[in-house]
Amino acid sequence: MLANDENAASQLAAGSRPNSRAPVEWDLLASAFLSSELRTGELRIEHSFWQPATGHRPLTTASDASDKLLSDELWMEEALRSAQRALEAGEVPVGAVVVCQGRVVGRGWNRNLTDCDPTAHAEIVALREAGRTLGNHRLGDCELFATIEPCAMCAGAAIHARVRRLVYGADDPKAGAIHSILQVVNHPGLNHRIEVRGGVLAGRSAEILQEFFRNRR
């Protein structure tokens, strides 16, 4: 049987809040995210395993690149607003948006407790809404913004959706499946490639999680 702290950590890793019977080492969990924040506090450029898209894409100029970085932060603000909704609902505050051609087509925040649904992570909720909005289960022209490094389930969903680009905030040292504990996205054995950028507004993404932990001490 798992020790309580391990149990809490594993539930956090699954994106859900531990039940009230399980004493929670919130300090421990908060410090894990804090260390994540410290590691990602400075803007981190694309991971080394990022692979540029194939030749049909135009060359990117310095001006285009800075516009892109700025718009990433604006969309991440939207994801943070979603995370705030989760916080208000007592859920682990993670938010996500799906952006297609300059507009939000899907929005989600953790709803595990609300929906009694172990799959209701912010990214999954946002991807489902995007699919409905666009009338397509393939989201090849879309970018997924998530406040925290996606877990294996959400990274897998992004691959199934064929999203073009993934942008996230803080690393998740407990469950991150981009590079922290697993490399699901851009795994060498998979065909689909996703452009990845991490560390966008990472401090604020971690901060909202710390607020959640503080309120449960």
Residue (40 or 147) nearer to Zn ion, CB: 147
Q: How far apart (Å, rounded) are the C-alpha atoms in residues 176 and 155? A: 9
Known catalytic residues?
123
- Least separation in angstroms between residue 115's CB and Zn ion is 14
Residue (105 or 151) nearer to Zn ion, CB: 151
- Least separation in angstroms between residue 154's CB and Zn ion is 3
Residue (60 or 114) nearer to Zn ion, CB: 114
- Least separation in angstroms between residue 152's CB and Zn ion is 8
- Answer for the pair 132, 124: CB distance below 8 angstroms, yes or no: no
Residue (102 or 114) nearer to Zn ion, CB: 114
Q: How far apart (Å, rounded) are the C-alpha atoms in residues 145 and 114? A: 22
Amino acid at 58: P
Amino acid at 170: A
- Least separation in angstroms between residue 13's CB and Zn ion is 9
* 55 φψ region: left (φ > 0), alpha (ψ -120 to 50), beta (else): alpha
- Greatest CA separation found in the chain? 55
Q: Residue 114: which of 13, 17, 30, 8 has the closest Cα?
A: 17
Contact residues for Zn ion, defined by CB under 5 A: 121, 151, 153-154
